[in-house]
Amino acid sequence: MSDGYGGHISVHSLTVAYGIQTILHGIDLDFPAGTFTALLGSSGCGKTTLLRTLAGFLKASGGRIEVDHKDVTTSPPEARGMAMVFQSYALWPHMTVAQNMGYGLKLRKMPSEAINRKIDTLLTMLGLEGLANRKVTDLSGGQRQRVALGRALAIEPSILLLDEPLSNLDTKIRLTMRHEIRAIQKKLGLTVIHVTHDREEAMTMADRIIVLDHGRIAQIGTPEDVYDKPNSPFLARFMGAENRLTFSVQEGVLKHENYSLPHALRIDEDRAIVYFRDEAARLINTATVSGDSLTGRVIARSYPGGFYRYSIAVGDAVIAVTDHAVIEPGTEIRLTLDPGKLHIFPASMAAHEEGRA
The dihedral over CA atoms of 136, 110, 34, 77, expressed in degrees to the nearest 10, equals: -80
Q: What's this model's pTM, rounded to 2 decimal places?
A: 0.88
C-alpha span between 194 and 160 (Å, rounded): 8
Q: Is the pLDDT of residue 294 over 70?
A: yes
Domain that holds residue 24: 9-234
308-348 pLDDT, tens digit each: 999 999 999 999 999 999 999 999 999 999 988 999 999 88
Residue 137 placed within a domain: yes
pLDDT value at 1 more than 50 = no
CATH of the domain at 310: 2.40.50.140
CB 193 within 8 A of CB 51: yes
| C-beta of residue 348 within 8 angstroms of C-beta of residue 354 | no
CA torsion through residues 321, 322, 324, 329, sign: positive
Residues 95, 198 share a domain: yes
Do 122 and 50 share a structural domain? yes
178 & 266 share domain: no
> Is residue 44 a part of any domain in this protein?
yes
In a domain, 3, yes or no: no
Please give the share of the chain, as a percent, with pLDDT higher than 90. 54
Lowest-pLDDT choice from 58-72, 182-196, 285-299, 343-357: 285-299
SS3 label, residue 273? strand
Strands (E), 58-215: 62-67, 70-71, 82-85, 159-163, 191-196, 208-213
Are both 205 and 291 inside the same structural domain?
Answer: no
81 and 217 together in one domain: yes
- 234, 265, 285 — which closes off a domain? 234
Pick the closest to residue 192 from 176, 203, 208, 177 (CA basis): 208
The residue from 234, 253, 270 where one domain ends is: 234
Distance between start and end Cα atoms, the chain: 47
| Span 180-236, pLDDT tens digits | 889 889 988 999 999 999 999 999 999 999 999 999 999 999 999 999 999 999 999
User: Do residues 260 and 211 both lie within one domain?
Assistant: no
Whether residues 209 and 248 share a domain: the answer is no
Residues 6+ apart with CB under 8 A from 238: 41, 42, 199, 211, 213, 218, 230
Tell me: do 18 and 85 sit in the same domain. Answer: yes
- pLDDT value for 2: 42
Query: How many C-beta neighbours within 10 Å does residue 94 have?
Result: 10
The number of folded domains in the chain is 2
**Domain CATH number, residue 75:** 3.40.50.300
Q: Are residues 95 and 156 in the same domain?
A: yes
Last residue of a domain, one of 177, 209, 234: 234
4 part of a folded domain: no
Strands (E), the chain: 9-18, 21-31, 36-40, 62-67, 70-71, 82-85, 159-163, 191-196, 208-213, 216-221, 243-250, 253-256, 259-262, 271-276, 281-284, 294-302, 308-314, 317-323, 332-337, 343-346
